[in-house]
Amino acid sequence: MKTFSLAGILKRHWIPLVFIVVVFISGVIVMRLHKVFASQDLNPHAGAGIELVQCN
């Protein structure tokens, strides 16, 4: 039976682990920035009443 040591696993798979951590932290930062700067559309029906009329 093989025993798996944590150091051996980290030596082999440290790049994917770092990648996953960086992607997760980046996602959290982007979500917080969206909340801070209020990038969601505050008035979704702003342009609903405007009609475009073609004149030829």
**39 CA to centre of own chain:** 14
Look at residue 12 and tell me if it is in a domain: yes
C-alpha–C-alpha distance, residues 34 and 28, integer Å: 10
Domain that holds residue 24: 1-39
> In this predicted model, what pLDDT tens digit does every residue of 1-56 receive, in sequence order?
677 888 888 899 999 999 999 999 999 999 999 888 866 666 666 666 677 778 87
- Residue 49 maps to a domain: no
Which phi and psi angles does 28 have, rounded to 5°?
-65, -40
Q: Does a structural domain hold residue 53? A: no
| Cβ atoms within 10 Å of 19's Cβ, excluding its own | 10
Terminal Cα distance for the chain, rounded: 83
How many structural domains is the chain composed of? 1
Q: What is the pTM of this model?
A: 0.57
